[in-house]
């Protein structure tokens, strides 16, 4: 799960997808295309909205996406088109590129919809972001469970 800072959107996506998959079978992680927040916990507004839904994401720490993740992970989800373009530029082969998806394609196929960056907005933005990510992860978890059944 990849966004820009790895403190608002992708930590939520990591926590939400993890919660929908068997931890003994699947590894879920998140990263940012940017490195400004490396080592930091998620934004308090993300921690709060997750907490309200019963998810504890407070122990996560931000990391920057490195090209090796294209080999370490089977699926890579970008939160918005800007993150998608940045990741696309880091892919070294068609096989790596095939692993890359825009997250909300799972619920709005072909529409190129972004998870909006909530960083500079208010708390309501985080509720909207949570909702969008949760709906997408529900579909993704179902697909993953079917594919690896």
Tokens of 149: 């059944």
Say whether residue 6 binds ligand 4NP (CB under 6 A).
yes
- Cα 105 to Cα 11, 110, 141: the distances in Å are 19, 6, 14
Is-catalytic flag, 61? no
| CB contact burial 82-103 (16+ within 10 A = b; e otherwise) | ebbebbeebbeeeebeebbbbb
Is-catalytic flag, 9? yes
Cβ-based nearer residue to ligand 4NP, 101 or 119: 119
How many residues touch ligand 4NP under the rule CB under 6 A: the total is: 11
User: Of the candidates 49, 38, 64, 67, which has an alpha carbon nearest to the alpha carbon of residue 13?
Assistant: 49
Q: Kindly report the CA angle at 22 between 4 and 25, in degrees rounded to 5?
A: 90
CA distance 119 to 34: 14
Binding-residue pattern over the window 105 to 134 for ligand 4NP, x denoting contact by CB under 6 A: ------------x-x---------------
Say whether residue 5 binds ligand 4NP (CB under 6 A).
yes
Say whether residue 41 binds ligand 4NP (CB under 6 A).
no
Is-catalytic flag, 142? no
Quick one: which segment of 7-15, 16-24, 86-94, 98-106 binds ligand 4NP (CB under 6 A)? Answer: 7-15
Residues that bind ligand 4NP (CB under 6 A): 3-9, 32, 36, 117, 119
Q: Which residues are catalytic?
A: 3, 9, 117
């Amino acid at each position: 799960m990849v966004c820009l800072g790895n403190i608002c959107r992708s930590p939520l996506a990591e926590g939400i997808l993890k919660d929908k998959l068997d931890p003994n079978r699947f590894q879920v992680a998140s990263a940012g295309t940017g490195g400004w927040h490396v080592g930091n916990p998620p934004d308090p507004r993300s921690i709060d909205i997750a907490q309200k839904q019963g998810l504890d994401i407070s122990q996560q720490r931000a990391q920057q996406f490195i090209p090796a993740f294209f080999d370490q992970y089977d699926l890579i989800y970008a939160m918005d088109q800007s993150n998608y373009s940045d990741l696309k530029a880091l892919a070294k082969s068609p096989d790596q590129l095939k692993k890359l998806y825009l997250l909300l394609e799972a619920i709005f196929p072909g529409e190129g919809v972004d998870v909006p960056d909530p960083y500079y907005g208010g708390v309501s933005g985080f509720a909207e972001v949570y909702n969008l990510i949760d709906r997408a992860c529900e579909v993704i978890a179902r697909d993953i469970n079917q594919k690896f059944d």
